[in-house]
Amino acid sequence: MILFGTLVNTATVLAGSAVGMLFKKGIPSRLNDTLMKGLGLCTLFLGVSGAMKGENTLIMILSMIIGAAIGEGIDIDRRTSAFFHRLEKRFTKPGQSGPSIADGFINACLLFCVGSMTLVGSLNSGLLNDHSMLLTKSMLDLCSSMLFASTMGIGVMLSAVFVLVYQGGLTLLASLLAPVLTATVIAEMTCVGSLIIIGTGLNLLGITKLKLMNLLPAMFLPILLCQLPFLYMM
């Protein structure tokens, strides 16, 4: 069952989010804020660790520049936020405060789906039918989703849909992309993706308000850029 790892991961995000939302009302606002800052610091650590795996700075820079141009052209962040704001108006009570559904969804999606474990785990599932890395990631996401949902609400639970589609799509496409997904390509994709995770951490800490969804196309550009020999001669 090629999607076994992805299905388990989706289930753990749903379960963790449900538990987190169940205990949300019992968490004092001061503790809630401290938890959010702690998650921001952990996210920064994950991002910095992954960014160190890149070997070609030029590919990283070009990926971010071209990816940002594509993302801004499509305006992924605005379209995603607009959809969830409409959803929020429909289901949120008037005067209710707290993080928006869009914020919870976007931050959770980036944390759960942008990173080396997602890439390598999906490839292992698709190419080797080895789900061990995705199962390990599922346990990590179970804990993360509990903490995130306790502070950011139902948007975190909705991110399970993105996990299913994105991670499952990578797994199903793995056999087609196998010839170009070398260790070098995966390292550069991990590097670029980890920069986006750093941005997620900065947003969670309240330092920045980066439109990170508009940077997602950058993560896939190393697949093309790593095929250009002249980039390794500069």
Residues of the chain with pLDDT under 50: none
CB 164 within 8 A of CB 158: no
The confidence score (pLDDT) of residue 5 equals 92
* pTM: predicted TM-score of the whole model, two decimal places: 0.75
Contacts of 21 (CB under 8 A, 6+ apart): 149, 150, 153, 154, 157
Tell me the domain boundaries of the chain. Answer: 4-21+31-227
CB 181 within 8 A of CB 189: no
The confidence score (pLDDT) of residue 25 equals 67
Please, what is the end-to-end C-alpha distance for the chain in angstroms?
A: 44
The confidence score (pLDDT) of residue 167 equals 92
The confidence score (pLDDT) of residue 74 equals 92
The confidence score (pLDDT) of residue 168 equals 92
pLDDT tens for 170-200 read 898 887 777 788 888 888 988 998 898 888 8
User: For residues 86 and 108, what is the distance between their CA atoms, to the nearest angstrom?
Assistant: 19
